[in-house]
């Protein structure tokens, strides 16, 4: 019976925007001041308020809201001084906008491998650290490296760290928010992340010089005093004539729908983790399948889940993917010969010259990835896990009996 059950939910359906956000968005549309610097006398814009609230949530001195997560990363790279032709270390297991942000500022991505916990490989990082100046660290799919060790390696080598927290907004390492280890933390509020404004992003930092440059870069038209968190005027005096405007602002409509979501972010993170743990529990002890163990120092946000089919032949993995799709369960495979949807690999980004990375290739080939939107119930997650378990088991048994 259970072998033939089919899941009917949508892996790309997020929750509605909270009523409070819809009401706030209507207010903005009624008064018509959508541009973040368009304020009535004495008014603070929704965008400025959002920046203040996000900085307070994350515990940073400064937060800047921008048009996308990718724009936050590119702005961070420029603001910390990355120049045309500079090398920037970054994860081989990541998403296309990460190397894209580096290439977009004319710098050169240098890939660091992935470890079995799906975080950046710290051995490989240590071996590439000497002489490096920058690391764009992507907490891909929410997997955090041992951040204490990572910062030790980078601090010793004098590497400036920027964190890509597109999948770790609300996550902690050893009680410290993801994005608060490096000089700058970057976040996305694109629909599939932990806050949803369609498009949008933040960067956070404690550094006056970095945030002053980032505000100028974001397109502030010398209206920087209208920001939610503003460094002293002297910080701008130093850089205002030498920092270009690379427009990429957040607007008040997006900020209005984000503010009520930020208030419930912690609760949402708990809900994601309830779903994550239900799927994880259902997948444990499936022959041939490796669950990715999460270290106790990590508070993750399980908005997606990954598992490994290590050293399986390609056609067997493809068969699992197809059989699961047939039962309504969408798995993304990072081993695919062609990049598909959001899934691509370091060797698909051919504008970067990179040597082959055999250890990383073995892991990338094994990674199966699945979204867990909050529109799924716990019962949905139980069913999804039982479908994956059944199909992985069936293909695995067939493979074993052939050999």
Ligand X SMILES: *Cc1c(COP(=O)(O)O)cnc(C)c1O
**Residues in the site for ligand X, rule: CB under 6 A?**
68-70, 94-95, 97-98, 138, 140, 164, 166-167, 188, 190, 201
Shortest separation between residue 136's beta carbon and ligand X, angstroms: 10
Q: What is the nearest approach in angstroms of ligand X to the Cβ of residue 267? A: 22
Nearest partner of 25 among 275, 287, 261, judged by Cα: 261
Q: How far is the CB of 95 from ligand X (least distance, A)?
A: 4
Least gap, CB of 94 to ligand X (angstroms): 6
Order across the sheet with 298-299: list the strands.
Answer: 176-177, 172-173, 298-299
Q: Which is nearer to ligand X, 7 or 333 (CB)?
A: 333
Give the SS3 label for residue 62. Answer: strand
Judged by CB, which is closer to ligand X: 197, or 386?
197
- By beta-carbon proximity to ligand X, the closer residue of 70 and 373 is 70
Q: Which is nearer to ligand X, 46 or 164 (CB)?
A: 164
Q: HEC states along 254-274?
A: HHHHHHHHHHCHHHHHHHHHH
Q: Which of 326, 311, 310, 292 is nearest to 140 (CA)?
A: 292
DSSP label at 164? E
Distance CA 221, CA 354 (A): 39
Q: Considering the complex, what minimum distance in angstroms separates the CB of residue 215 from ligand X? A: 19
Q: Provide the pairing of β-strand 290-291 with 108-112.
A: unpaired
**Residue 224 or 334 with smaller CB distance to ligand X:** 334
How near is the Cβ of 69 to ligand X at its closest, in Å? 3
Handedness of CA 145, 172, 297, 140 (dihedral sign): negative
State in angstroms the smallest separation of the CB of 391 from ligand X. 26
Of the pair 202, 236, the CB lying nearest ligand X is at: 202
* Closer residue to ligand X (CB): 188 or 252: 188
User: How many Å apart are CA 86 and CA 160, to the nearest integer?
Assistant: 13
Residue nearest to ligand X (CB): 69
Q: Using CB atoms within 10 A of its CB, is residue 326 exposed (0-12), middle (13-18) or buried (19+)?
A: exposed
């Amino acid at each position: 019976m259970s072998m033939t059950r089919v899941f009917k939910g949508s892996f790309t359906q997020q929750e509605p925007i909270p009523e409070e956000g819809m009401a706030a968005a209507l207010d903005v549309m009624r008064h018509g001041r959508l541009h973040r610097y368009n304020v009535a006398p004495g008014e603070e814009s929704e965008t400025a308020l959002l920046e203040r609230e996000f900085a307070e949530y994350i515990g940073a001195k400064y937060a800047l809201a921008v048009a996308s997560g990718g724009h936050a990363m590119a702005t961070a790279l420029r603001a910390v001084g990355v120049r045309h032709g500079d090398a920037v270390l970054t994860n081989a297991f990541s998403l296309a906008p990460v190397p894209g942000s580096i290439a977009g500022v004319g710098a050169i991505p240098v890939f660091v491998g992935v470890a079995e916990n799906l975080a950046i490989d710290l051995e490989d990082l240590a071996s590439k650290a000497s002489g490096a100046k920058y690391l764009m660290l992507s907490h891909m799919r929410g997997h955090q490296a041992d951040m204490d060790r990572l910062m030790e390696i980078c601090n010793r080598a004098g590497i400036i760290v920027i964190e890509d927290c597109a999948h770790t907004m609300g996550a902690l390492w050893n009680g410290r928010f993801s994005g608060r280890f490096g000089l700058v933390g970057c976040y996305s509020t694109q629909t599939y992340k932990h806050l949803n404004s369609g498009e949008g992003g933040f960067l956070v930092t404690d550094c006056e010089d970095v945030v002053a440059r980032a505000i100028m870069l974001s397109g502030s038209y010398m209206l920087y005093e209208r920001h939610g968190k503003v460094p002293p005027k002297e910080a701008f005096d130093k850089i205002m004539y030498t920092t270009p405007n690379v427009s990429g602002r957040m607007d008040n409509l997006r900020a209005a729908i984000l503010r009520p979501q930020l208030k419930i972010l912690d609760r949402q993170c708990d809900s994601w983790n309830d779903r994550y743990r239900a799927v994880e529990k259902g997948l444990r002890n499936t022959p041939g399948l490796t669950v990715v163990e999460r270290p106790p120092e990590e508070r993750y946000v399980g908005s997606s889940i990954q598992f490994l089919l290590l050293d399986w032949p390609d056609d067997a993995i493809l068969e699992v993917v197809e059989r699961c799709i047939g039962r309504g369960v969408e798995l993304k495979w990072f081993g695919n010969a062609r990049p598909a949807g959001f899934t691509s690999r370091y060797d698909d980004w051919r504008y970067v010259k990179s040597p082959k990375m055999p250890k990383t290739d073995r892991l990338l080939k094994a990674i199966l990835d699945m979204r867990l939107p909050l529109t799924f119930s716990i019962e949905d997650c139980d069913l999804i896990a039982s479908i994956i378990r059944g199909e992985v088991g069936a293909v695995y048994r067939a493979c074993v009996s052939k050999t």
